Every structure is written in C-alpha cells, then in structure tokens.
Amino acid sequence: MEFRTLGQSDLKLSAITFGAWAAGGWMWGGTEQNDAVKAIQSAFDYGVTSIDTAPIYGMGHSEKIVGTAIKDLARDQVQLVTKFGLRWDATEGDFYTNTKDNDRNPIAIYKNASKASIIKECEDSLKRLGTDYIDLYQIHWPDKTTPIQETMEAVAQLIKDGKVRYAGVCNYSVEQLEEANTYVDIISNQVPYSMVNRGIETDLVPYVIKQNMSILAYSPLQRGLLTGKMQAGHVFSEGDHRQGLAFFKDENITQTVTFLDKLKPLAESKHATIAQLVLRWTIEQPGITIALAGARNEKQSIQNAKAIDVKLTAEELQFISKALEQVKLDL
C-alpha cells in the first residue's frame, strides 16, 4: 500500500481508503453486518489502514460496524476519518432531506454544524467507534444556519481537548474552504470526483495544490458505474438511491460501458480489473491525494485494495484521458 500525507500535517492515510457509506446500509438497500465487518478487516490485511465513515451512514450503524471491525487492533494501526453535521435525531438547523432509515421508517435530516451539536456528535461518534480520538473530523455538508467561524472554532476546541487530531471539510467550495482555514488549520476537502465527474478540476484542484491541502475523492467509481459490471436496464434494489440519479440513465450507462470497453485491453495487460484501473487513474490525478472506495463484502474490498498494485505510465494515463474526451454524459 502507498501512504500519503494530508496537507501539511503528519497524518498519513492509505492511498486507497475504505469508504464505509454502503457498509451502513442507508440509501444502499440495506447491509449485512458480518459481510461489512469482514470487508473492513480484509481491506486492513491488504494495507488499507484508513476508514472513512459518518454518523448519518445508517444512523450510527456504519460507525458501529467500523468500531466492531477494528476492536482487536492497536489504535495507532488504523486511521479513523468521520464527519459531523447531519442530524436525524433533532430538527435544529437547515432542513436537508426526507428519507427512510434502515428499517424503512420515515426520518427527516437536518444540517446542523452548531457548536453544541458538534460537541454532542463527537462524543457519540467516539462511543460508537470505540476510541478516544478521531484522526480526521470533517463537516459533512455546509450549514447555512451556522457561521463557519462557530463551526470551525468548535472543531479547534475538540483538537485542543485531544478528541480530534485534524480538521477537514467535505463538499466545501473554494470560498468556504478559505474562510474555514482562517479559524482552524484545514488539511483536506472531501469531494466527489471520478472519470465522469471532474468539475473540481476548474477551481478547487488548483486552489488546494497552491495551498498544499489535500483532496479526498469520494465516489471515484461513480457509485458502481465505473466498475464495468453495470449494463443498461440495471434494476436497483428497494432503497438504493442510485435509481434516481442521472448517471444511471440507460443512455449514460451505455456510453460509459463503451468507454470502459476501450480500457479492457489495458486492464488485462496489467492483470487488473476495470475498477482497479479506474482507482489507480484517480489517485494519479493532480491534487487527488486519496480515493475512497466502498465495499460490501470481502471480495470487493480486496479487489479495491489491490488497485494500488496497478502501475500506469504517462503514456497510458494519456491514452485514458484521450478516450475520456469522447464521453459526454447527459447529466
């Protein structure tokens, strides 16, 4: 495994980090806990020592699964990355969405990044994870009802108290990132990025490179679209959020499959899967420090971890980029 330093900190994460959203079940049509635990443990065996989770993933379920998976490990062997700011158990803040929990019960989610909420969320996350500190603590989404100053000063206090090592953000614009960094040292921004979702290259990537910050890319496989295993007409299970996303319209799936077919000879020459090739391409892009890869079982987890073994030359990266130029999804 390769390990990469976030920003100007001394925190190093595995270049392929385990993304534990699907492990929590919420919005993914449920989960099987034993499979999720084995997925995390198998990833660790192959060098994936970093795990990204959040309270909202299964209303605490993902964090509990992570806590179970790492309970027999020495704390300094693993890097725990989690979030705050999405509450399903309170109605203060900025309304986010109506959804259903893993038991299919209706719930309302609110963005709340107030100081009091952050302090409570941190304590709850520590208990679920079975630890006394979090390596990287990130606001999940911007909360327009709370000043950024209040939010970041609360995180700074948690760092001072030893409950958090470093501050990060998720889904922040350059302007929001710039303001947040005036109140606490921000080392990373976690944002969506994939071969077919490259909007951040315009402004965010140049900014973080200039400021020596890091990007944690989530959904690098575009939630399964870039695995090469999906075909037009795919039927999602009940509760799977992907069925309503534009990326998964039949015409977009078909166009993506056509592109991925062009990569098959290259993948085969590397004895790699399409997904492994995609993950390696992702972490080779300027400004991208870490790729978050989710897995629901041991097999997927090991395959993701082995993506690090794929090596791409400058010419091969250029070949992929040129093929990508022909992909024009209807989003």
Residue 97 pLDDT level (bands cut at 50, 70, 90): very high
Query: Does some domain include residue 240?
Result: no
pLDDT tens for 270-282 read 999 999 999 999 9
What one-character DSSP code corresponds to residue 237? P
Candidate list 46, 57, 96, 193, residue with the active-site label: 57
Q: Which domain holds residue 9?
A: 3-224+276-310
Report the interhelical angle of 298-305 vs 33-45 (nearest 10°).
Answer: 30
- With 70 as the cut, is the pLDDT of residue 79 above it? yes
Contact (CB, 8 A) for 294 and 22: yes
Tokens 């084995």 found at: 38
Contact (CB, 8 A) for 24 and 62: yes
- With 80 as the cut, is the pLDDT of residue 268 above it? yes
Query: How far is residue 175's CA from residue 152's CA, in Å, rounded to a whole number?
Result: 15
pLDDT tens for 28-72 read 555 578 888 999 999 999 999 999 999 999 899 999 999 999 999
Q: How many domains does one find in the chain?
A: 1
Query: Does some domain include residue 331?
Result: no
Query: Does some domain include residue 159?
Result: yes
Residue 245 pLDDT level (bands cut at 50, 70, 90): confident
pLDDT tens for 152-210 read 999 999 999 999 999 999 999 999 999 999 999 999 999 999 999 999 999 999 999 99
Active site annotation includes 57: yes
* CATH code, 128: 3.20.20.100
Query: Does some domain include residue 315?
Result: no
C-alpha distances in Å from residue 6, one per residue of 84, 105, 151, 156: 19, 38, 21, 17
Query: Does some domain include residue 321?
Result: no
Query: Does some domain include residue 123?
Result: yes
Radius of gyration, CA atoms only, the chain: 19
pLDDT for res 25: 60
pLDDT tens for 195-239 read 999 999 999 999 999 999 999 999 999 988 998 888 877 777 777
pLDDT for res 31: 58
pTM for the model stands at 0.93
User: Mean pLDDT for the chain?
Assistant: 93
Query: How far is residue 15's CA from residue 180's CA, in Å, rounded to a whole number?
Result: 25
The DSSP result for 17-69, as a single string, is EEE-TGGG-TTBT---HHHHHHHHHHHHHTT--EEE--TTTTTTHHHHHHHHH
Query: Does some domain include residue 104?
Result: yes
pLDDT for res 231: 80
The DSSP result for 186-212, as a single string, is EEEEEEE-BTTB-GGGTTHHHHHHHHT
Percent composition of the chain: helix, strand, coil (DSSP 3-state, to 5): 45, 20, 35
Contact (CB, 8 A) for 63 and 69: no
